[in-house]
Homo-oligomer: A and B are copies of this chain.
Amino acid sequence: MKVTQTVKKILSHYESDNPGTKRNIASMLMQGKLAGTGKMVILPVDQGFEHGPARSFAPNPDAYDPHYHYKLAIDAGLNAYAAPLGQLELGADTFAGQIPTILKVNSSNSWATDKDQAITASVDDALKLGCAAIGFTVYPASDFANELFEEIRKMAEEAKSVGLAVVIWSYPRGGDLSKDGETAMDVCAYAAHLAAQLGAHIIKVKPPTAHLEQPEAKKVYEKEGIDISTMAKRVAHVKQAAFNGKRIVVFSGGASKGLDGLYEEIRGLRDGGANGSIIGRNTFQRPREEALEMLSHIIDIYKGKA
């Protein structure tokens, strides 16, 4: 399939990157049912590591098997599949060339008391497993933020030098941040901006609420009359914070809600100019057929058909 003008435009913003990295970004944008549209739906499955296997997979026991997720992402026509090391090792050969993969190179778990992550895979691992990108979580606002920034800086430089793309999960938490603040408008926009400054090609943040957390920022939002009344407006503002929309931003599934609520939220993301969604539990915790149906509907939303 020939790279579309839309995708070429997006690639043109990664002007400092080598052809290897651009090819890998393109591989994700030209994959699946949204190929060529500039939109993406990504399947992330790191919940086994983060929350434990039963909490993640018992509702749909087929999902204990790493092959399940590869197949689901391929069959649903998604753009990419993201997972930790062990999970990608079990499938990388079987499904080689069938879907771009993102190696999640750091991880937390449900016993963690610090807002930190352990580095659990390397750039070399990503190369050996044939991945298109590495994925890394930063926790802006936490006591470990600087350390995490320094870790991704080194790994991103290495990844880019060998032609991989870099995806940053930017999830503010810890420090003085309130629980509501984690999804506040100003906080999400700042989170996206920090990821862009750190050199991310693709940025993952949470859908923002209308809450404003940082007093200094709140003053500016009010003084400048920034409209944050709807999800679409808020998402547009997050995109703006990501270098005036020149970086790909995808949004997580948000808090659990019914399918209608989810579709409604995704329409807001779409209308605000989001590049797409990255949806884990909502996908693999329901039976395969239901998941395929849901993903098909989400893809239709991004295509403007729903």
Contact = CB atoms under 8 A, between A and B. Distances in A.
A298 interface: no
A90 B13 contact: yes
Interface string A54-82: 11001101001110000000000000000
Contact of A243 (B90, B172, B221): B90
Contacts of A147: 118
The range of chain A's interface size is 35 or more
Contact of A125 (B157, B224, B226): B157
Interface in A112-153: 112-114, 116-122, 124-125, 128-129, 140-141, 143, 145-147, 149-150, 153
Contact of A199 (B85, B93, B118, B149): B85
B87 A221 contact: no
Interface of A: 13-17, 48-49, 51-55, 58-59, 61, 64-66, 84-94, 107, 109-114, 116-122, 124-125, 128-129, 140-141, 143, 145-147, 149-150, 153-154, 157, 172, 175-177, 186, 189-190, 192-194, 196-200, 214, 216-217, 220-221, 224, 226, 237, 240-241, 243-244, 246-247
8 contacts: A15-B90, A48-B193, A55-B217, A59-B224, A110-B216, A111-B176, A116-B146, A120-B198
